[in-house]
Chains A and B, each alone.
Chain A
Amino acid sequence: MLLTITTTHSPATDLGYLLGKHPDRFQSFDLSFGRAQVFYPEATADRCTAALLLEIDSVKLVRGQATTLDQYVNDRPYVASSFMSVAIAQVFRSALSGQCKDRPDLTTQEIPLQAKLSVLPCRGGEGFLHRLFEPLGYTIRATQHSLDEHAPEWGNSSYFSVELTATTSLQTLLSHLYVLIPVLDEDKHYWVGEEEVEKLLRHGEGWLSSHPEKAQITQRYLKRQRDLTQAALVQLSAEESPEPISVSYDSEGSEKPISLNQIRYETVIASLKKSHAKRVIDLGCGEGKLPVQLAKDPFFEQIAGMDVSHRSLGIAQEKLDRLLILESQKQRIQVFQGALTYRDRRLENYDAATLIEVIEHLDESRLAALERVVFEFAHPHTVLITTPNSEYNVKFENLRTGKLRHHDHRFE
């Protein structure tokens, strides 16, 4: 909601020219989500501060046709977010594009600048904030806020008051803020599509391709959309050296999924084959990773996946449609919704049932029902169950001792 930019360049009031906003006026600009106001709390030859103060109309954003927000009780009106980036781009349009009608000589000049963000959400912590701005030459002062001074036991919020100091051009500073505010906030109030890649490349010109965190920045800026991220990174690399691109997507939890999960699946598939299970049902199939692998293997004749999450099943079905090309592969596989605490006749008549990292998502008091559903009613010849054991966390570099691997785990 509040950004100030201060300079001690002499004369400091040049800031007014650079921004194109008169230091002695309070100006207001209508935006789609409310209003942006610009004023100068101080404006002397030694020191000049411009304030960009946003008024975000949350009632309109919740009730409007686009329903940009879904909650009235919302931090958006008070924090720096993609709303701030949009405001910078609209209110300081010329400064951001390095133009200055009255004093074109000033635009490229590196001057002492300080930006202050009253409340900046930093998802990823102060360390990430430093990793973003330090390589760009800023001195950073950040103060983290507690959630509520009346309830110290709740700990800290993810909000920081941040001061960034550097000697740089105003255009560069604004570009950095434009890109990195939503990266830290990890959110965008509007739909992220292909034009967003173009915006990133435009405002990241000259600094993003050599930024050590460019992969993270790109990924977060593009809301973790794989295709967009890939496209942006290819173009960024073309600017830079031809080093190989690799982005790792950690999906859920803190466990590094690629290696461990794949080892797990391979072990499961080998065990299934060993027990001659031709018809297999994956109970708690999630997004269908195991069923897809089974379907590609002609050894398995009939494959089913069941999960309680309708959303995950949608993704699984989409994956099946996309990855399985042969009609013969598609015909052998189906996914459907069900819950392991209910007897279900659709689970009967399989050679094997797999419960891969599933049982730990059930309260222990419900496991008796699961036992009966699987062993008594579904009654396959073989049941394969995997579940994490936190005692083994010491064996993995990235797993912390005594910490559950996923917030929904009821036990490990």
Chain B
Amino acid sequence: MNITIPELSLVTLIGASGSGKSTFAHQHFLATEIVSSDVCRGLVSDDQLDQSATQDAFDVLHYIAAKRLDRGRLTVIDATNTQAADRKHLIQIAREYHCLPVAIVLNLPEQICRDRNHLRPDRQFGDHVVRRHVQNIHRSLKGLQREGFRQVYVLSSIEQIESVEITRQPLWNNKKHESGPFDIIGDVHGCCDELETLLQTLGYQLKEHTYYHPEDRKVIFLGDLVDRGDRILDTLNLVQKMVAAGSALCVPGNHDYKLLRKLKGQNVKVNHGLDKTLKELESLDESELRSLQSFLDSLISHYVLDQGRLVVAHAGMKQAYQGRGSAKVREFALYGETTGEIDEFGLPVRYNWASDYRGDAIVVCGHTPVPAPVWLNGTIDIDTGCVFGGNLTALRYPEKELVSVPAQKVYCEPIRPLVSESLLSIQQQDDDVLDIADVTGKRMISTRLYRAIAIRPENAIAALEVMSRFAADPKWLIYLPPTMSPVETSKELGFLEHPAEAFAYYRKQGITQVICEEKHMGSRAVVIVCKSPAAAQTRFGITDSRFGICYTRTGRPFFDHLPLETEFIDRLRSSLSATHFWDEFQTDWVCLDCELMPWSVKAQQLLRQQYAPVGKAAQVALTDAIALLEQAKSRGIEVPLEQYQARSQLAQQYRHAYRRYCWSVNSIADLKLAPFHLLATEGAVYTDKSHLWHLEHMAKLARSDSDLLLETASQIVDTTNSESVAAGIDWWLSRTQQGSEGMVVKPLEFIPQSRSIQPAVKCRGQEYLRLIYGAEYSLPQNLERLRQRGLSAKRSLALREFALGIEALDRFVAKEPLRRVHECTFGVLALETEPIDPRL
């Protein structure tokens, strides 16, 4: 006997004790697919036969079944299930997860069951139990279908049971093996003229009255073929032929379904354009009507395509319903969800399911007419209201390109006007407020560069505080720069950091060409400049007429003062315009990675509360001490005067070191910005370009406004060539001796070949390090101890933050929802709260 069951179903075995349910289950299903009441009894009580544990055991059984079905796994219930009440609960669970409940009854005579039980020492619970089971089953058999089992198989003999073969059938909606390419077309509503034009535009050709694509593309019709338009029958014919020929798939819309019910003779209200359909149908004869009816009846409510990456349905499909089959799923596909309210036009208010959508599959749907198709959380509505005088739109998949043809006329006046009320796109409106559930708790963020990166809950807690109290509007935060590791500690006399270590590191990693870039003496700044406030609105969803921002590495705005920020961004915008940047890169926004000077702009607090006071205290105390020591020395006492003179000298050097970073800023004329990465523009993240390319473009920009912008000095070093290495070291020595902070060494390529190679290491100058390790760090007894420092945690962090930063840019440029971008920048902030030596 062959039993065919849906691949995702809840298989309920029904049989008396001793009927062989467990044996049957294990013959036909995976051990992990079977949930047995005996096993659950054992789980909660250590005794599989402890009847007092039955209630708890079934709680566990139901819980496991629900979890499995939620995850889309076929599940077999191995329990007697002889009573309707027990089965009812299982049917409820199947419904909740939109899976089909299947009953397989092992309907053996009482005697066989009893004999089997007698052979088992653990089953001595009296014959009356088995008798009751068998009686219950007999009473239930007729009603199983009515109880809600979609398929019922009754096996009434040992031979029948032994002959069973079970076939699992994919659901009708499962077309995961079809990966396109597709052209998905929104609501046609009888606009056949436009449909034909659109098909031709898409490259379809008419062959024997049916459209085919020479490159084997396939159309997917999103339903609502009928009603309102002028050529409804033509549309139905065209679609029907293409589906029959295999050059199209079609899902039904609510209008098509209503027509089907009408054809089946059900009483439906003739409105919303159905009258026009019925009028055209008058020309059909009986058999044509029957053929139409069976076509409409054959349509599957939604499809899951391309390995689960694409889902199509008329009104949309939420994640929990994808690939499931139930009345509710079908209803959702046809109508979507409504809030139960009625709007001012008398139409039901549709609940925007896409706003909550967090699934990985792209969902393409129609149903709700929109002025222009818009992506929202990976879903897109492409019903552009052709019949209302809008457009007929196709989405090319996997290209994600939109192709539209305009309506030839207004066939029907829309009840609700098609214009959008907001200045922002639907995605931007949806992104206006982020959901805390999308950032807190333990999270895994998948990235292109580093696979998945884990964010721990305690780090997210700390990041939430920084993000919500100090950071700029998350809409601007499309990138946060990673932390950077220093070079390995140098053993050179008098040095804690030395460039030889940087070159040695990259040489060891097999990287020959590195670039040394001057480390500017300022603060890291991410700068976004838009061509206009309108561009900021379209691309960033910013509506307060700002057209750019400058923020710190923790996402905090640099300028408290808006007019200064505006002036600053405007200056940059002028430079970008003057260098024809917008045209060259075909963009109206840009994101730059920079250093902003002076450091004192952002570090004012630190300077006044730490750097300056320490310097002053050192100077006063050491000067006083030296005077007293000299006095004592003049009395002929042996004192360590030289030692204090040396310390005083170091304190002086320390004060010089921090003073280099400070000048007062009264206007924009006092600022300097050194851009060194051209991170992204519309449609592009420039991580595929070498650092030379970045510096070259940034230098070009800098030359156009040398009062504000600084070029970044650089030098290329061949790590395998000792002369070149020596030149690199000299370059660093001479620059740091002149007071430079140090340099950053990077592989020439923006993204190193191996994901374990640091994208950059810093090598800080001897004097600068006084600001990190204290004025007197260079004293031999201090230096010796400071050399003991571990870099591995810092380096691992740098790699993960680098990957997250790039991922954020990638996602923003790919126009993903803000929460997907924010997840990455939030992740960088969260990682930054890891306890790592802040001096590294």
A26-B639, A72-B774, A118-B624 known; A150 and B617 CB under 8 Å? Answer: no
> How far is it, in angstroms, between the C-alpha of A151 and the C-alpha of B661 when the chains are bound?
12
Interface 1/0s, chain A 20-32, versus B by CB < 8 A? 0000111000000
Q: On chain B, which size bracket covers the interface?
A: 35 or more
Q: In the complex the two chains form, is A43's CB within 8 Å of B638's CB?
A: no
Q: In the complex the two chains form, is B468's CB within 8 Å of A42's CB?
A: no
Residue numbers in B under 8 Å from A16 (CB-CB): none
Q: In the complex the two chains form, is B621's CB within 8 Å of A41's CB?
A: no
The secondary structure that dominates the B interface is helix
Give the contacts of B420-440 with A (CB-CB under 8 A).
Answer: 432-437, 439-440
Residue numbers in A under 8 Å from B774 (CB-CB): 58-59, 72-74
A4-B628, A74-B774, A147-B612 known; A343 and B433 CB under 8 Å? Answer: yes
Q: In the complex the two chains form, is A343's CB within 8 Å of B436's CB?
A: yes
Residue on A nearest B784 in the bound complex, by CB: A59
Residue on B nearest A145 in the bound complex, by CB: B616
Give the contacts of A202-232 with B (CB-CB under 8 A).
Answer: none
Q: On chain A, which size bracket covers the interface?
A: 35 or more
A25-B637, A51-B628, A146-B616 known; A310 and B462 CB under 8 Å? Answer: yes
Residue on A nearest B786 in the bound complex, by CB: A59
Interface: B448 (CB within 8 A) = no
Interface: A239 (CB within 8 A) = no
Residue on A nearest B615 in the bound complex, by CB: A148
Residue on B nearest A77 in the bound complex, by CB: B618
Of A59, A154, A344, the contact of B435 (CB 8 Å cutoff): A344
A2-B625, A26-B632 known; A365 and B544 CB under 8 Å? Answer: yes
Q: In the complex the two chains form, is A339's CB within 8 Å of B625's CB?
A: no
> How far is it, in angstroms, between the C-alpha of A159 and the C-alpha of B612 when the chains are bound?
11
Interface: B461 (CB within 8 A) = yes
Residue numbers in A under 8 Å from B439 (CB-CB): 342
> How far is it, in angstroms, between the C-alpha of A340 and the C-alpha of B434 when the chains are bound?
10
Residue numbers in A under 8 Å from B637 (CB-CB): 24-26, 39-40
Give the contacts of B499-545 with A (CB-CB under 8 A).
Answer: 544
Interface 1/0s, chain B 542-575, versus A by CB < 8 A? 0010000000000001000000000000000000
The stretch among A172-180, A250-258, A369-377 that forms the contact with chain B is A369-377
Residue numbers in B under 8 Å from A148 (CB-CB): 612, 615-616, 655, 659
Interface: B613 (CB within 8 A) = yes
A43-B635, A147-B612 known; A377 and B433 CB under 8 Å? Answer: yes
Residue numbers in A under 8 Å from B607 (CB-CB): 154
Of B465, B610, B612, B628, the contact of A309 (CB 8 Å cutoff): B465
A4-B628, A148-B659, A344-B436 known; A74 and B621 CB under 8 Å? Answer: no
Residue numbers in B under 8 Å from A365 (CB-CB): 472-473, 544
| Nearest CB of A to B598, in Å | 12
Q: In the complex the two chains form, is B468's CB within 8 Å of A71's CB?
A: no
Interface: A79 (CB within 8 A) = yes
Interface 1/0s, chain B 599-619, versus A by CB < 8 A? 000000001101111111110
Q: In the complex the two chains form, is B625's CB within 8 Å of A118's CB?
A: yes
Residue numbers in B under 8 Å from A72 (CB-CB): 772-774, 777, 839
Q: In the complex the two chains form, is B785's CB within 8 Å of A78's CB?
A: no
Of B465, B614, B788, the contact of A74 (CB 8 Å cutoff): B614
Q: In the complex the two chains form, is B632's CB within 8 Å of A41's CB?
A: yes
> How far is it, in angstroms, between the C-alpha of A74 and the C-alpha of B610 when the chains are bound?
7
Interface: A361 (CB within 8 A) = yes
> How far is it, in angstroms, between the C-alpha of A369 and the C-alpha of B624 when the chains are bound?
56
Interface: B664 (CB within 8 A) = yes
Q: In the complex the two chains form, is B432's CB within 8 Å of A159's CB?
A: no
Interface: B771 (CB within 8 A) = yes
The secondary structure that dominates the A interface is mixed
Residue numbers in A under 8 Å from B462 (CB-CB): 310
Interface: A199 (CB within 8 A) = no
| Nearest CB of A to B272, in Å | 32
Q: In the complex the two chains form, is B616's CB within 8 Å of A308's CB?
A: no
Residue numbers in A under 8 Å from B467 (CB-CB): 339
Residue on A nearest B779 in the bound complex, by CB: A59
Q: In the complex the two chains form, is B608's CB within 8 Å of A342's CB?
A: no
Interface: B412 (CB within 8 A) = no
| Nearest CB of B to A160, in Å | 10
Q: In the complex the two chains form, is A159's CB within 8 Å of B468's CB?
A: no
Interface: B631 (CB within 8 A) = yes
| Nearest CB of A to B625, in Å | 5
> How far is it, in angstroms, between the C-alpha of A150 and the C-alpha of B614 when the chains are bound?
15
Q: In the complex the two chains form, is A159's CB within 8 Å of B613's CB?
A: yes
Interface: B39 (CB within 8 A) = no
A145-B616, A148-B655, A159-B616 known; A73 and B632 CB under 8 Å? Answer: no
Residue among A53, A159, A344 with max Cβ neighbours from chain B (10 Å): A53
Give the contacts of A349-370 with B (CB-CB under 8 A).
Answer: 361-363, 365-366, 368-369
Give the contacts of A311-358 with B (CB-CB under 8 A).
Answer: 337-345
Residue numbers in B under 8 Å from A42 (CB-CB): 631, 635
Give the contacts of A26-75 with B (CB-CB under 8 A).
Answer: 26, 39-43, 49, 51, 53, 58-60, 63, 71-75
> How far is it, in angstroms, between the C-alpha of A24 and the C-alpha of B433 when the chains are bound?
75
> How far is it, in angstroms, between the C-alpha of A363 and the C-alpha of B474 when the chains are bound?
13
Q: In the complex the two chains form, is A157's CB within 8 Å of B612's CB?
A: yes
Residue on B nearest A366 in the bound complex, by CB: B473
Residue on A nearest B655 in the bound complex, by CB: A148
| Nearest CB of B to A90, in Å | 20
Interface: A397 (CB within 8 A) = no
Q: In the complex the two chains form, is B461's CB within 8 Å of A73's CB?
A: no
| Nearest CB of B to A237, in Å | 37
A153-B664, A340-B468 known; A2 and B639 CB under 8 Å? Answer: no
Q: In the complex the two chains form, is B436's CB within 8 Å of A157's CB?
A: no
Interface: A161 (CB within 8 A) = yes
Residue on B nearest A143 in the bound complex, by CB: B620
Residue among B440, B607, B637, B655 with max Cβ neighbours from chain A (10 Å): B637
> How far is it, in angstroms, between the C-alpha of A75 and the C-alpha of B607 when the chains are bound?
13
Give the contacts of A1-19 with B (CB-CB under 8 A).
Answer: 1-2, 4
Interface: B299 (CB within 8 A) = no
Residue numbers in B under 8 Å from A169 (CB-CB): none
Residue numbers in A under 8 Å from B617 (CB-CB): 75, 78-79, 119, 157, 159
> How far is it, in angstroms, between the C-alpha of A153 and the C-alpha of B666 when the chains are bound?
12
Residue on B nearest A72 in the bound complex, by CB: B774
Q: In the complex the two chains form, is A151's CB within 8 Å of B620's CB?
A: no
Residue on A nearest B639 in the bound complex, by CB: A26
Residue on B nearest A151 in the bound complex, by CB: B662
| Nearest CB of B to A340, in Å | 7
Interface 1/0s, chain B 454-482, versus A by CB < 8 A? 00000001101101110011100000000
Interface 1/0s, chain A 280-322, versus B by CB < 8 A? 0000000000000000000000000000111000000000000
Interface: A158 (CB within 8 A) = yes
| Nearest CB of B to A157, in Å | 5
> How far is it, in angstroms, between the C-alpha of A376 and the C-alpha of B432 when the chains are bound?
12
Interface 1/0s, chain B 742-783, versus A by CB < 8 A? 000000000000000000000000000001111111000010
Of B465, B472, B629, B664, the contact of A151 (CB 8 Å cutoff): B664
> How far is it, in angstroms, between the C-alpha of A19 and the C-alpha of B822 when the chains are bound?
65
Interface 1/0s, chain B 436-453, versus A by CB < 8 A? 110110000000000000
Please list 19 pairs of residues, one from A and one from B, whose beta carbons are closer than 8 Å in the complex, sorted by A's number: A1-B625, A26-B632, A39-B637, A51-B625, A53-B628, A77-B618, A147-B613, A154-B612, A157-B612, A157-B616, A158-B613, A337-B440, A339-B464, A340-B468, A342-B433, A343-B434, A343-B435, A345-B437, A369-B473
8 closest cross-chain pairs (CB), A and B: A339-B468, A41-B631, A72-B774, A342-B436, A78-B617, A147-B612, A118-B624, A78-B621
Binding site for A on B (CB under 8 A): 432-437, 439-440, 461-462, 464-465, 467-469, 472-474, 544, 557, 607-608, 610-618, 620-622, 624-625, 627-629, 631-632, 635, 637-640, 655, 659, 662, 664, 771-777, 782, 785-786, 788, 839
> Given A1-B625, A154-B608, 19 more contacts at CB 8 Å?
A2-B624, A26-B638, A39-B628, A41-B635, A58-B776, A59-B774, A59-B786, A74-B614, A75-B613, A75-B618, A78-B622, A119-B620, A148-B612, A148-B655, A151-B664, A159-B616, A308-B465, A341-B434, A343-B433
